[in-house]
Structure 1
Amino acid sequence: MEVIFCIFQGCFVFKPSTKKKKHLGLGAQNSGKRYKLCQDLWDQIKTDTESLQDELNRSILDSLLDFTRKCSSTRQHGDWASQMRASEIPTAALVLGVNVPDHDMTFQSLSELLQQLVTPHVASLQAKECGALKHLMKRVLERLMGTTCTVDDDEEEEPEQTSTETHKSMHCSLGILCDWYKSKTRVGHESQSVVLQSKMLQQPPVVVIFKDLEAFNHRVLQDFILICSRYIERLPLMFIFGIATSPSTIQNMLPHSVSSLLCIELFQSLSCTQHLATVIDKLVLTSHFPFKLNGKVMQVLISIFLYHDFSVRNFIKLALLEHFHSQPLSLSQRDLERIRQLPSFRRYTEKQDAQEKVNLMTDDTHLKVECRKLIKDLRKYHKNYYPVLSLHTLTSSLPRELHLICLEKTVWETEEYQSAMKLLRMLAKELIASIQRCCGTLKPVKSKKMMNALIQMEEILTKIKQLDENAPPVDNSITSPVKSLSQKKTDLFQLQKTLLEMNETRRTKKLSPFETVRNEALELIDGLVKSHLSPPEAQTLYEVCYYTSSATVRRHLNATPRTSIQAALSNPYHYLQNESLKTEDGSVSNAAPDICIAYKLHLECGRLINLYDWLEAYATVASAADGNDPDSDTFGKVDDLFSSARFIQAVSELEFLGFIKSTKQKTDHVARLTWEAVEREKRTHTWLLPL
């Protein structure tokens, strides 16, 4: 009988086991020191960032102050122009760009300057607190008058106010504001000091700042402007619109009948990309802060800033916290072993002799001394890095772009660098201006190497000036081979021979004094670049100062909402980190939140989900979570009103997130809207049938 062999082929797909992260326990004292160090460094970065942003916005803030003074003085003088515009409200349209997270700092500085130099009557408003006209009016009066104003919705809260309050409650009306302003600006008012009168105008304007104009309700803003225009003769109102997109927003939000009541002047601030470039050049690249970002993290910062968040401070703060959290490099016994395992330290150890290798790997005291020396060398590297980075005459105005190249590769080996050096070798008089700019870059630097380089460049400039004064005579005794060729008849072989001789003569030709000095200057710059612009990864212990986890920053700041929501619903342990929620087979624990249980159950259904069946399945899981006896008659029953209410809330949340919707096909059913998770699970657990 013939033997039949059956061959079965199959393909089984299993999810890989999750890699367990190593959690290094830190002592309470060590953690406290690291937290204090991180907090101090962040406070310093935050302070310098704020001062830098104030410096960037100084010109536009001064222009706004001049605008408010001019409008108020024009109104008080009562000239013909002010009479013609008696019904128009002076309005400053401040275009700040789309870096919205940094706008609060700008408006805070503007409010403080206005209150100090122009007028004490300033009210800043946000759209989230002015949903209706009465709320907008209430916020304006409260912040200008310093009193508690009431609207119809707040009348029920009045009995709760105690009699010890110093501010009186009043109804919202611009007429009340006019009377209050008249009493405040009356000549000889007791509460007005002589110093305040000397600094401010006799009738200071009332400034209302709309921080986020695009977010305000169109109808509310229109009604408020119409009401204010009726009181402009009694109240010197001024508006400041904070615009994030474009000035055409005003035309889109306000009809002509309303916008004609405004006398608008446009103020344009620096673009968000200029803010980013200045912060990186003045803070990240310099040696003032030991915290640095590597090439990949810098690319993430630029991409997230330009396309998503537009905030530099949030990015740097997150990177700083992650760096201090993941790199506990304080010199305890366990942390010394971590230093020995760093890739940069291993490369450094391999370059040492045998005895030094043994001392570095076994002697902790010697390792601490060597680490102190290496950290000082890293500090010197950062101190010389930025000045040399700005020496490149072709890119001195864009040090950020050159910095990205230096972080990722060896800059002097790139084609762009070679082309730039070839171009510099062709310069004549332009070389003097380039060297002078280099000297201006190196003068503020107080480093010995940079000071020596400055002295050498100044000597080169002196030599070039002396060459101009003492120019040697030109030697005309040498006859050109081309002239001799033109005097006689030659063949192709003779021409080739003559050209080779000309090439050899050009190579062996003696350089002119200017060419010699020019080569000396370029060799000096090239030597500085090769000495101080090596990639940070080539420095020993660079991991101490450089944050390298670009994936972590991207995951936190540029997360995809749908993926994050599905991960939270299918695996709540991923975010909550509660051991009772941890499961191994991909299922959801019965102790999970109600929405997670409802989400997992709805994945097992088809296009239409029966609400009663869904409720029964949920009640079964919820009863197990409550610790009920599975053998009891009430286990899994849906008679409990509390469980039904929890289920209804979970279903409503899923509908709000867009996973389900109500359907008219069956009143007791809901329709599913997402299918990706189910198909992914099917692909994960599918195997090929035997052939």
Structure 2
Amino acid sequence: MTEDLFNSLLKYIKSCNTNFSLSNNTGAASRQTRTQEIPTAVLFTGVNTPDHTVMFSNLRTNLQQKISPLVASLTSKTCTTIRNIIQQVLGQIIHQSSQMSFSDDEEDLNPKSAPCTLNTLADWYYDKYKKVGNFPSPAKKKRSENEDTVNADSSPNLPNIVIIFEDLESFTLKPLQDFIMICSSYQCRLPMVFIFGVATTMNSVHNSLPKLVSSQLCMEKFQVPPPSEYMTRLLDETLLNADVPFKLGPKVFEYLLDVFLYHNFSISYFMKGIKIAILDHFFSCSLSYLILPEKNSEVMTQHIKQTDPDAVRQLPSFMKYVEISPHSKQKSLLLSDKALKEELAKLLEDFHLYHKNFFIMLNCLHILVGKLPKYPLGKQRRELYLLCLKQFICDTEQYQEAMNLLRFLSKDELENMLISCQESLLKQTLTDPCIPVCSKLCDFLKMLEDLDGMKLEEENKGNSDDEELAQLPKRTNLHNLRKTLQEMDKKKKKLSPFEKLREEIISYMDSNFRIFLKCPSSIPLHEVFYYDSLPILQDYFTVCPRAAIQKALSQPHSYLKCSCCEADPGVILSSFPDVCVAYKLHLECGRLINLYDWLQSFITVLEDSENKPKRKDQHKVLQARFIQAISELQFLGFIKPTRQKTDHVARLTWGGC
């Protein structure tokens, strides 16, 4: 999805500084101090900051490969002063240029020893490109030898110097403003282009840069697609694709979606969740090797031959399948391994066919209900898919509400929906059960077109109804009037040809949805393809730092896996790490801890009573180790200094987490 954005961005950067000439670096031109506007691309990246690093890395690679090797990428963490900014620019540009050098004899400037100024960069740029003359190809070099000597200064397409500010809002304002002003004064000597990464709005740029600074920039806006579009594209190519056999269960899928939509908007976080789910599924499920695309039939056959029959029989879905099978078949599946493997091959084939039919009809259902008022089945396809994962969707209230709303569609709306369904079906490889659906939709569309000739009959019926109303007596009693109106209402309940056809279409689609959109959990062997272990995934992503730290300090054996640290919870061994000894001793103290008493207890634990210290400086070593241990506890937030008593520290944590 970023390909179109990158193409437009690269096209803009390529069109910048087209009139730049190296002659500006010579003579009186090099002493000019007049400022010029710097071409600036303002890239609105959105609030999904965890994904920005990958995006800017890809952007930098594209720039270096297609536009210019002179690209510097700056972040607020490493650019706190004007000197840091210039150092980063010089270091990245000169170092990158030396790696992509076109000549072995070319000597590049050492950025560490050179003065940290843009004048150094300007001189280096002039010395470098007056020789190479805009990356001449070997053919151009040979041609230039036979022609008159061409002045390198007149090269029309010298490479731009592209400087990327990845997180503009986080930069320290004064160094950033000074750097822009300095660059504007060097624009006549250096063809610079800025790229501002902005996570919020244009107001943040104007708030960061005063008018004097922003007037030096010629800004062009570029918008990164929202994270929801990335998510839709990702799901369409992975979890909502029948060619990918591995799927997420409803609990895991809903959890990852909620984290994405309500917490971080991070695609990379979502992808990490899928990767962990795949790893855990293949590690924990003994039959996960059966997850293969249908096209790998030969490999699948070999895997089936090596399958453990007992592992298949223990699957809950297979046990239900055996229960509903005929008695003779039950006996063969439970006792004959050969019959079991033959049935396993058939079930796997049926499961792949189920996936294909499922996603084909899921697309059709989404087209029909995706634009209904109040979106009873959700606006996005992922919402509809989640409902299908949880239960049989045709039995839900939302589905019934959607079907009722479809019965109020106009002819044009219904016709457009059927055309969209037909186009969706034609784009996919249809299975044998879905081919009749496509042909039936074509018939329905023809029938809708034929209804145009029936409008005259409907108008005539409307006129006859008006005549009946006109024939009502002007004076009558209430009983007779009510009876007459009830009879007329019964006549009006007769459906028009369009209403009959609409009801037929909705009923036909409803019957197909009930056939093909069965809940995955009702299909045999769904445990092989679907991963739904939510607690394990939450352990990876919903971390509890305090619990992990306290467990490591109180039970070091659980992390170190050494026999010397195995002990009961209340025992303190001398083999424990120093910080663990200090931590367990501090648990025995109150709100204020005397450092001297703590030190003596620490020394008592670590000294071996049988082998008393022979060295005179042994206590000094233990004292140093104690100081380091309590410093680590202070860093972890368990203690802090107190002004109440200078030789005490205050305890900050109590009890478990």
Asked if Structure 1 and Structure 2 have the same fold, meaning a TM-score greater than 0.5 normalized by the shorter chain, the answer is yes
Q: Where does residue 671 of structure 1 map in the other structure?
A: 650
1:403 deviates by: 1.1
Match among 570, 578, 583 for residue 599 of structure 1: 583
Distance across 2 between alignment mates of 1:71 and 1:333: 63
Secondary structure of the residue aligned to 1:595 is helix
Name the TM-score, length of structure 2 as normaliser.
0.80
Q: Where does residue 145 of structure 2 map in the other structure?
A: none
Matches within 5 A, 1:152-551: 169=110, 170-171=113-114, 172-186=116-130, 189=133, 192-193=136-137, 202-251=157-206, 253-254=208-209, 258-306=213-261, 307-308=263-264, 310=266, 311=268, 312-329=270-287, 330=289, 335-392=308-365, 393-395=368-370, 398-429=380-411, 430-447=413-430, 448-469=432-453, 473=457, 489-490=476-477, 509=494, 511-551=495-535
Distance 1:439 1:191, change over 3 A: closer
Match among 140, 144, 147 for residue 93 of structure 2: 144
Q: Where does residue 119 of structure 1 map in the other structure?
A: 68
Distance 1:466 1:355, change over 3 A: same
Secondary structure of the residue aligned to 2:130 is coil
Q: Which has the higher contact order (CA 8 A, sep 6+)?
A: 1
Q: Where does residue 95 of structure 1 map in the other structure?
A: 44
1:368 deviates by: 2.3
- The alignment status of 1:71 with 2:16, answered yes or no, reads yes
Q: Which moved more, 1:116-125 or 1:181-190?
A: 181-190
Q: Where does residue 105 of structure 1 map in the other structure?
A: 54
Q: Does the Cα contact within 8 Å between 1:571 and 1:586 map onto a contact in 2? A: no
Residue identity opposite 2:530 in structure 1: Y
- The alignment status of 1:558 with 2:503, answered yes or no, reads no
Q: Does the Cα contact within 8 Å between 2:22 and 2:189 map onto a contact in 1? A: no
Secondary structure of the residue aligned to 2:245 is coil
1:132 deviates by: 5.4
Distance across 2 between alignment mates of 1:189 and 1:292: 55
Distance across 1 between alignment mates of 2:337 and 2:156: 70
Distance 1:265 1:258, change over 3 A: same
For residues 12-59 of structure 1, the C-alpha deviation after alignment (integer angstroms, 9 at most, x for no partner) is xxxxxxxxxxxxxxxxxxxxxxxxxxxxxxxxxxxxxxxxxxxx1123
Q: Where does residue 27 of structure 2 map in the other structure?
A: none
1:660 deviates by: 0.8
Match among 33, 36, 61 for residue 6 of structure 2: 61
Match among 642, 645, 660 for residue 624 of structure 2: 645
Q: Does the Cα contact within 8 Å between 1:342 and 1:541 map onto a contact in 2? A: yes
Q: Does the Cα contact within 8 Å between 1:142 and 1:148 map onto a contact in 2? A: no
Q: Does the Cα contact within 8 Å between 2:286 and 2:311 map onto a contact in 1? A: no
Residue identity opposite 1:230 in structure 2: S
Q: Does the Cα contact within 8 Å between 1:119 and 1:201 map onto a contact in 2? A: no
Distance across 2 between alignment mates of 1:382 and 1:671: 62
Q: Does the Cα contact within 8 Å between 2:40 and 2:195 map onto a contact in 1? A: yes
Q: Identity, % of aligned pairs?
A: 39
Distance across 2 between alignment mates of 1:602 and 1:196: 77
Distance 1:106 1:125, change over 3 A: same
Q: Does the Cα contact within 8 Å between 1:344 and 1:541 map onto a contact in 2? A: yes
Q: Which moved more, 1:399-408 or 1:89-98?
A: 89-98
Q: Which moved more, 1:644-653 or 1:100-109?
A: 100-109
Distance across 2 between alignment mates of 1:586 and 1:450: 68
Q: Which moved more, 1:208-217 or 1:424-433?
A: 208-217
Residue identity opposite 2:242 in structure 1: S
For residues 284-311 of structure 1, the C-alpha deviation after alignment (integer angstroms, 9 at most, x for no partner) is 2111311111111112112222314712
Distance 1:314 1:663, change over 3 A: same
Gaps of 5+ in 1: 1-55, 150-163, 681-691
Residue identity opposite 1:567 in structure 2: K
- The alignment status of 1:567 with 2:551, answered yes or no, reads yes
Distance across 2 between alignment mates of 1:445 and 1:193: 46
1:148 deviates by: 10
Residue identity opposite 1:301 in structure 2: L
Distance across 2 between alignment mates of 1:604 and 1:638: 28
Secondary structure of the residue aligned to 2:442 is helix
Distance 1:543 1:657, change over 3 A: same
Gaps of 5+ in 2: 24-31, 99-104, 142-154, 290-303, 372-378
Q: Where does residue 621 of structure 1 map in the other structure?
A: 605
